[in-house]
Amino acid sequence: MENIQLTNFFSNTVNFFKAFFETKRRFQTQSSFCRLNRAYADKALANPSFVSPYSLINDSIIIKDGIISGCLINSKNNLEFIFELYILEIGAVRIRINEKNPLKPRYDKVKDWALVQDPLITLEYNQIPSKAGVTSFSFGKEKNQTISIYHSPFRVEFLIDDIPTIILNDRGFLNFEHLRDEESNIESLSETNQSSSKNSIQNAETSGDKLDPKLNGPGSIGLDISFPGYSHVYGIPQHASSLSLKETRGGTGAYSDPYRLYNLDIFGYAIDSPQALYGSIPFMMAHRKGASTAILWLNASETWVDVTKCKENNKNNLFGLFNSGKSINSTNTHWISESGIVDVFFFFGKTSSEIFHQYGLLTGFTSLPQYFGIGYHQCRWNYLDQKDVAEVDEGFDRHDIPYDVIWLDIEHTDGKRYFTWDLDKFPDPEKMQKDLMNKGRKMVTIIDPHIKRDENYYIYKEASDLDLFVKKASGSVYDGICWSGSSSWIDFTNPLAQEWWSKKFAFDQYKGSTEVLFTWNDMNEPSVFSSPELTMPKDLIHHGGWEHRDLHNIYGFAYHKASTQGLINRTEPPRRPFVLSRAFFVGSQRYGPIWTGDNVANWDYLAISTPMLLTIGISGLPFSGADVGGFSGDPKPELLVRWYQAGAFQPFFRGHAHRDTKRREPWLFGDPYTSYIRDIIKERYSLLPLWYTLLYEASTNGMPIIRPMFVVCSDDENVYEMDDQFFVGNSLLVKPIVEEGQTSTEVYFSGNEIYYDYFTFEKIRGSNKIRIKAPLNKIPVFLRGGSIIPKRQKIRNCSSAMHLDPFTLVIALNENNEATGSLYLDDGETYDYEKGYFVHRQFAFSAGKLESTSLSSFDNDKNIYAKLINSVHVEQIIVLGLDMKPSRIIAHTADSDFELQFDLKCFGTLSGINTSDVLVIKVTNLSITEDWTIEFLK
Ligand code: NOJ
């Protein structure tokens, strides 16, 4: 009883803190370094004779081994900077600018966390003759890409086929503030900003109640990057905003603040806002007909990005490029970071897929999760005790709803001491997990980075003894408030902390954990209830003496990394980890999925989840999801059904709810709602082979799993802004219903392509918007003509129970009677696929023949996994849109030729629904691992 009172008291105090600081935050506007860089930009724009004071000293330029370097000088204060440009093997270009003689080193370690390795430089470039004061190179496979570096004023232009595609410092906003000592540090930002008095340019900034001392002055960097001829830019998650980024200055519907990148814990975040949220990926992509381009601004300090658009005035000779008669827009961006150096990567391609690939080569492709990761996850803050877990688990079976993982939130621990159990509520965690394991299911427990300051808590004691906590500027260990009360935070940027933390996941360390227990990393922005903006003060000190301000956006990433390593190491041979993280940064895809944080059970949050996840996906992190049902508040049954339908077509699929909400396990709503939820979860399970194949492909080529319309229909300008419908891979077009009471919706079908209703097989000829019926039991989903998708029709209690079940191939033919698709399979748990133990098939239908061939060069006889599933068959093939009625269908395998039965009754109708050209073929003896051909004879 006493315990409960204490918990309530504590939870109320925490809520008070959160509310207090939340209110403060809402009234806080842009940070001073942002305001001042913006003011600098305004001044430059307002003054027609403004010229950037930065220039490259002519005789300082050295060109050697793919590196072009030189000395930049700011004529206003004669400070010098090192400029370096690297032409990279992956086809991208990198530019770095740093102070030549900084007062102390500036943080340049982001690359060590975010990139897979130091990118290799290519020697495949040619210097090309140019006028005096310009240094130019051609590069790229076709040598049609050019870089022109203008010395004075300093400006860099990237051109493709002589058309500018990205320009740096075009508007002269480059502003590199040098670090300075206390004497001179009132000479703050933008000495050129004459209108500001010294007093108004304070180095120290009041942030919440606390003064951020900024001992070495402001030290910010600002730079403008323009995308001539590109009307749309995308990326820079995480914001609850549209896919195509909005203007942040002027323009109709523009935001008044720039997009902010600063990992923060924002409960019930605002919608349609550039407000910073839990994760930050400073990657921006621009797309137009025939070309895509992107930049990565590799900086982990607080960053703001302004986006503006302008009508092109043909300064950049773009008019010849577009003869559509439409007016041409260009997009200008202004990047402002609080500290660090300028380290920017530039990517170029004809399509976005080339960019995804280059970006993946640089920052890593998504790691392939265990197969269960793409199943349905059931979470709640909190499942109360062991009995509750058993009952919920049993509830899924009783109601015939599949699920893979049950999650335990913070209350399962002994007083929010992570890696421990509240043994009163969970007396036998191992048995609890064993019971789940016996059904093929798993469990996830939450592990947060705030460590309760309790000498008797082994994690705190060890970290203290090893001196692994983040420090105050004074050198003492930092403490603040989080769920566990007075807490300290491990400094995950310390390699020793990484190693030590990862060992804590060993089975003999994390008592009560088993092989089916996985991890959830929450509150890792980091969230600190007692500090301004609910995060760490910027002047805290990390390993190597770096200030928190320099690496804030890396903290959660480094934590995610250490936890993931822990799960990999705990078994020998290693097994694939599963660690969900809330905070993220460039490269987080290497460690595990993320979710969009604390949303609310209302229709607006359901709607915004689509653009949010699409944006995160194109920024290199394809495995993500949003809390199904909405975290806080109680969804009405209609909203819950619609949310499950949307969630079933998002990569990470988890229902989650706040502790103050009513219970909402799917069976609590009764029919028809429970049936509708069951149906869509089952549909997700039938499509798991497609989801897993897409994850595998993302792990090798960087393609997002759910794809914006502009990625798939890249030449259709009508879709560049569209973010309420999307593709799963290239084959399923999905339009979630996100409005109350809506029973039909307009779906846009691009081009003159053929689509088929996913559920009824009705044929649709695309060309424009078509109104589609969407009663509550139906989410509009369409098969795109030209695709083949693998499914499993028999749905069992969880994904692992379906490994040896047969497949159905659904062939959706295009207007040429052709289609292709693929299927990837492996053991779903180990790293054996890295040895070649996987099955990767290509299916291709053309000229009346369906062929299954291997995409793997590994010999099936040596392929342990292929042998294991050799008996797994294709049991059914459904062909949509075949332009002839076959008289016979013959299968040819390596050993024999035989005739297949097909269902003529289904030709023209299916279950009473009018369909078009549906042919259902019953199949036997066709192994999923072998090559075969099926011939359709007239
Ligand atoms: C905040 C997380 O966003 C939420 O999902 C979780 O339930 C609570 N923390 C409690 O751990």
User: Which residues lie across from 78 on neighbouring strands?
Assistant: none
CB of 381 shorter than 6 A to ligand 1: yes
CB 782 within 8 A of CB 773: no
| 251 alpha carbon, distance to own chain's centre | 28
**Is residue 663 very low, low, confident or very high in pLDDT (cuts 50, 70, 90)?**
very high
The SS3 call for residue 194 is coil
Cα 329 to averaged position of ligand 1 atoms, centre (Å): 42
318 pLDDT above the threshold of 80: no
Q: Which of 11, 15, 409 to mutate to test the pocket of ligand 1 (most atoms within 8 A of CB)?
A: 409
Any ligand 1 atom below 6 A from CB of 633: no
Asked whether 410 lines ligand 1 (CB < 6 A), one says yes
pLDDT in tens, 500-516: 999 999 999 999 999 99
Instruction: Please give the angle made by the CA atoms of 117, 118 and 121, to the nearest 5 degrees.
Output: 130
Name the least confident of 127-136, 212-221, 337-346, 579-588: 212-221
- Percent of the chain scoring above 70 in pLDDT: 91
| Helix, strand or coil, per DSSP, at residue 712 | helix
Of 491, 522, 697, 917, the catalytic one is 522
pLDDT of 65 higher than 90? no
Q: Tell me how far apart the alpha carbons of residues 80 and 723 are, in angstroms, rounded to a whole number.
A: 45
133: confidence class by pLDDT, cuts 50, 70, 90: very high
Looking at residue 932, its pLDDT comes to 97
pLDDT at 201 over 80: no
597 in contact with ligand 1, CB cutoff 6 A: yes
Q: Identify the weakest region by mean pLDDT among 22-26, 264-268, 630-634.
A: 22-26
Distance from the alpha carbon of residue 14 to the mean position of ligand 1, in angstroms: 13
- Pairwise CA distance, residues 571 & 540, whole Å: 36
Pairing of strands 517-521, 579-581: parallel
Long-range contacts from 453-462, C-beta under 8 angstroms, 24+ separation: 453/479, 453/485, 453/486, 453/487, 453/488, 454/417, 457/417, 457/420, 459/417, 459/418, 459/419, 459/504, 460/417, 460/488, 462/500
Half-sphere exposure for 157 (CA within 13 Å, toward CB): 19
Quick check: CB of 657 below 6 Å from ligand 1? no
**Mean pLDDT, rounded, for 128-132:** 88
| Tens-place pLDDT, residues 426-455 | 999 999 999 999 999 999 999 999 999 999
Residue 782 and residue 750 in contact, taking contact as beta carbons nearer than 8 Å: no
Q: How far is the CA of 365 from the centre of ligand 1 (A)?
A: 27
pLDDT in tens, 730-785: 999 999 999 999 999 999 999 889 999 999 999 998 778 999 999 999 999 999 99
How many CB atoms are located within 10 Å of the residue 190 CB?
A: 21
Identify the pLDDT of residue 204. 47
pLDDT for res 197? 32
Q: Interhelix angle for 637-647 vs 603-618, to 10°?
A: 10
Please report, rounded to a whole number, the percentage of residues in the chain having pLDDT higher than 90: 83
Which pLDDT tens digit goes with each residue over 153-175?
Answer: 999 999 999 999 999 999 999 99
**Tokens encoding 918:** 């549906």
Ligand 1 atom with the smallest distance to the CA of 527 is 1
Ligand 1 in reach of 522 Cβ (< 6 A): yes
pLDDT score recorded for residue 186: 44
Per DSSP, the three-state class of 937 is strand
Specify whether 522 is catalytic.
Answer: yes
Cα–Cα distance for residue pair 506/493, rounded to 1 Å: 21
Q: Which pLDDT score is estimated for 701?
A: 97
Whole-number pLDDT of residue 172: 97
Identify which of 217, 186, 202, 220 has the alpha carbon closest to the alpha carbon of residue 103. 217
Q: Which of 598, 627, 724, 827 is catalytic?
A: 598
The pLDDT tens digits for 454-471 are: 999 999 999 999 999 999
At residue 689's C-alpha, the angle toward residues 684 and 690, to 5°, is 80
The pLDDT of residue 268: 80
pLDDT tens digits, residue range 810-865?
999 999 999 999 999 999 999 999 999 999 999 999 999 999 999 998 887 899 99
Spatial CA neighbour of 731 closest among 692, 778, 786: 786
Band of the pLDDT at 351, cuts 50, 70, 90?
A: very high
C-alpha to C-alpha distances, 893 to 229, 297, 663, nearest whole angstrom = 53, 52, 53
pLDDT at 182: 62
Mean of pLDDT values over 541-568: 98
Ligand 1 atom, smallest distance to 410 CA: 11
Ligand 1 atom nearest to 627, measured from its CA: 5
pLDDT at 313 (0 to 100): 64
Which residue CA neighbors atom 4 of ligand 1 most closely?
598
φ, ψ of residue 603 to 5 degrees: the values are -65, -35
* Residue 173 phi, psi (nearest 5): -85, 5
Average pLDDT over residues 235-241: 98
| Pairing of β 145-150 and β 155-160 | antiparallel
pLDDT of residue 311: 81
How many helices (H) and strands (E) in the chain? 16, 53
**Distance between alpha carbon 432 and the CA centroid of its chain, in Å?**
32
pLDDT in tens, 608-645: 999 999 999 999 999 999 999 999 999 999 999 999 99
Distance (angstroms) between ligand 1 centre and the Cα of 654 equals 13
- Does the pLDDT value for residue 368 go beyond 70? yes
> What's the gap in Å between 463 CA and the centre of ligand 1?
24
CA of 518 to the centre of ligand 1 (A): 16
Strand partners of residue 853:
842
Q: Is the CB of 598 under 6 A from ligand 1?
A: yes
For the question of residue 2 being annotated catalytic, the response is no
481 C-beta neighbours (distance < 10 Å), count = 18
899 is catalytic: no
Average pLDDT over all residues of the chain: 91
**What does the pLDDT average to over 470-484?**
97
Could you tell me the distance, in angstroms and rounded to a whole number, from the CA of residue 522 to the centre of ligand 1? 7
